[in-house]
Homo-oligomer: A and B are copies of this chain.
Amino acid sequence: MHSYPTARVGVAGATGYAGQELVRRLARHPAADLRLAMGSTAAGPRRPSPALARVWSGDLAPLDPDRLAAETDVVFLAVPEEAAATIAPALVTAGRRVFDLSGAFRLRDAAARQRWYPHSPEPPSGVVYGLPELDREAVRTARLVACPGCYPTAALLALRPLAEAGLLRPDGDVVIDAKSGVSGAGRTPSERTHFSECHGNVGAYGVFAHRHGAEIAERLGFGVTFVPHLVPLDRGILETIYARLRPGAGAAAVAAAYQTAYTGAPFVRLTGEALPEIKHVVHTNFCDLGWKVDEPSGRVVIVACLDNLVKGAAGQAVQNFNLAFGLDERAGLD
């Protein structure tokens, strides 16, 4: 077990589901000294979840960016993107390193950002998109890491190795059918997330109009059809991805591309033809990837799943923190 110098750490938005998960992980992180946990507004936070009793003994404070800048070295932002859009640049200017879980700084294309995140300013310099397995080097020196959420993380981990190995047919449609647990919608009650509306129910939403589709397309360099669905479980997402291989590419090439991409990546587990299931990844930072190829037709079906609050949110941010501080990528994430 290593011994690390510790960084003074703060969390903004600590009462939401991702924020609670951050507190839980950072409170026992060997290189983090969790100094401040704040709510999402200056009006003060909700009462802390009883689940955190004895996990973290500090007090929850109202949101106060100046205090974050003064008392911490590193800030994790789990606040709505409107708030992150103003807080993150200020913290960077103050010399803090920032790990932002919101979408405010994920899109590079100005027009797309204007459409999907109208509150977001021109990103400050030093911003990187931080999907650790694909952006490892960039994260090491970044000042502000825009951490991708659950849908793009699963989609990009599944598709980028195939695209970069030149295995996908350029004219083949790529369809991403995503099934998400309800915690992905956050902690604020709404009609759509009312228990009686979700239980026993499945529905699609955001067809042809979801900002995560735009984010996936920007990072891939080509468009996809992305349709998310709400399914009646709390944590975890699963994406079923349909694509076409270029002539000549088969199961062996697909397996090789994934092996190459993820050798040494501690949180990507390749399950091959034994397709992964949500149950095996919840409460972990793993993204499990499996696939099947129909060689006569060149069709490939990839299944990717992860816990939206861990690998799709808090765990991802901690993994980026570990990279940025030269720690073992797994620190605090076992």
Residues of A bordering B, CB below 8 Å? 1, 17, 28, 30, 49-51, 53-54, 172-173, 175, 177, 179, 181-183, 187, 189-191, 193-205, 207-208, 223, 225, 227, 229, 231-236, 238, 240, 242, 244, 266, 269, 271, 274-284, 286, 288, 292, 294, 297, 299, 301, 303, 305, 334
Contacts and interface: CB of A to CB of B under 8 A. Distances in A.
A77 to B, nearest CB: 21
A119 to B, nearest CB: 25
Contacts of A223: 297
B292 A207 contact: yes
A190 to B, nearest CB: 6
Q: Interface centre among A203, A276, A297, by most B CB within 10 Å?
A: A203
B17 A196 contact: yes
Given A17-B196, A227-B240, A301-B225, A286 B201 contact: no
Contacts of A177: 175, 177, 240, 242
Q: Interface centre among A28, A54, A202, by most B CB within 10 Å?
A: A202
B195 A182 contact: yes
A269 B54 contact: yes
A203 B277 contact: yes
Nearest to A172: B173
Given A196-B193, A278-B202, A54 B266 contact: yes
B236 A200 contact: yes
A208 B296 CA distance: 11
Nearest to A193: B195
Given A189-B193, A231-B231, A173 B244 contact: yes
Contacts of A275: 203-205, 207
Q: Interface centre among A233, A242, A301, by most B CB within 10 Å?
A: A233
Given A194-B194, A199-B195, A279-B201, A232 B232 contact: yes
14 contacts: A1-B1, A28-B334, A51-B280, A54-B266, A187-B191, A195-B199, A200-B236, A202-B277, A203-B279, A207-B301, A208-B292, A223-B297, A227-B301, A229-B240
B301 A50 contact: no
6 interchain residue pairs of minimum CB distance: A203-B277, A201-B279, A189-B189, A51-B280, A177-B177, A182-B195
Contact of A234 (B195, B286, B305): B195
B203 A183 contact: no
B225 A242 contact: yes
Contacts of A278: 200-203
Contact of A204 (B207, B266, B269, B303): B303
Given A49-B280, A207-B292, A231-B232, 16 more contacts: A50-B269, A50-B271, A51-B284, A172-B173, A173-B173, A175-B177, A177-B240, A189-B189, A189-B190, A193-B196, A194-B194, A199-B199, A200-B234, A201-B278, A203-B275, A204-B301
Contact of A189 (B194, B204, B283, B292): B194
A178 B10 CA distance: 40
A171 B96 CA distance: 53
Contacts of A294: 208
